Amino acid sequence: MRGNQDFQGAMFSYISLEERVPAAHPLRKLRAVVDALLSSMNREFEAVYARRGRPSVPPEMLLKALLLQILFSIRSERQLVEAVNYNLLYRWFVGLN
């Protein structure tokens, strides 16, 4: 079952991640392009996920995290998870709170 992206960032912080990322940061343009591309693939994602079962991590988030791994030369998936946990820019790009 394909997971959803539910955001509740206002519960824990007065400043959203959207406000923390500078307006001129290069990842803003890249995120817009990647989001548009991934939204056009929505039908393909729906076709490969089961209708029943436990919700998964949305494939869009996984693909954006892997793109960060390539862009910032993160050597392993374990280091990628650690970097996404600590770096607010990475969390914003992936779509986490």
* 22-37 pLDDT tens trace: 999 999 999 999 999 9
Give the pLDDT confidence of 64-82 residue by residue, as tens digits. Answer: 999 999 999 999 999 999 9
Contact 1, 63 (CB under 8 A): no
pTM of the model: 0.82
**90: CB partners within 8 A, 6+ apart:** 65, 68, 83, 84
